[in-house]
Amino acid sequence: MAVFGSMLVSLGAVLVTTVVPVWVFLALLNARDHRQARLIEAVCAQFPSEWVRSDLAVAARARLVSRRGWVRVDLGSCSREHAWPAIARLREVLPPWVRLVVHGRLGARPEAARLTVEALPAPALGRAA
């Protein structure tokens, strides 16, 4: 009976030292991939479907442990009248811990622009009257 008990203890030690850390690492990777997919879906929902299919390029990154991340949107050669409202909607939709970087030709100038759009300040909550 003592041999069986020592085998269970050694099996438990093997599981704790090898299987559990691998499982935790895979769970963290899965959560990061889901955060990236949600960011891309949130960005693509703010643009017309024609842009998403042709002119728009979206890349998202999320950290492994923290919730911080960034979204890079390349608007291609869309007009300024369409780009600025979409950028404003994006900043409202994205959480404040996500950095928004916009690339594209915004206007009549031929050179490309790169903008990092800061998060909107959170509204102060006052007492109800």
CA-to-CA distance for 111 and 84, rounded, in angstroms? 17
Q: How many domains does the chain fold into?
A: 1
- What per-residue confidence (pLDDT) applies to 54? 75
Question: Does 24 fall in a domain?
Answer: no
Residue 4, both tokens: 């069986």
Query: Regarding predicted confidence, which is higher, 64 or 56?
Result: 64
In which domain, by residue range, is 40 found? 35-117
| CB 98, CB 127: distance < 8 Å | no
Query: Regarding predicted confidence, which is higher, 122 or 37?
Result: 37
Question: Does 83 fall in a domain?
Answer: yes
Question: Does 9 fall in a domain?
Answer: no
Question: Does 75 fall in a domain?
Answer: yes
Question: Does 40 fall in a domain?
Answer: yes
Q: Name the average pLDDT for the chain.
A: 79
- Looking at the predicted structure, is the pLDDT value of residue 129 above 60? no
- What per-residue confidence (pLDDT) applies to 115? 67
Question: Does 5 fall in a domain?
Answer: no
Residue 54: which CATH number?
Answer: 3.30.300
What pTM was estimated for this model as a whole? 0.72
| CB 76, CB 55: distance < 8 Å | yes
Question: Does 64 fall in a domain?
Answer: yes
Question: Does 51 fall in a domain?
Answer: yes
Average pLDDT over every residue of 23-33? 94
- Looking at the predicted structure, is the pLDDT value of residue 128 above 60? no
| CB 71, CB 43: distance < 8 Å | yes
Q: Name the DSSP class of 55.
A: T
What sign has the CA pseudo-torsion 27, 29, 33, 38? Answer: positive
- Looking at the predicted structure, is the pLDDT value of residue 25 above 90? yes
The H or E element spanning position 52 is helix 49-53
- Looking at the predicted structure, is the pLDDT value of residue 15 above 90? no
- What per-residue confidence (pLDDT) applies to 33? 95
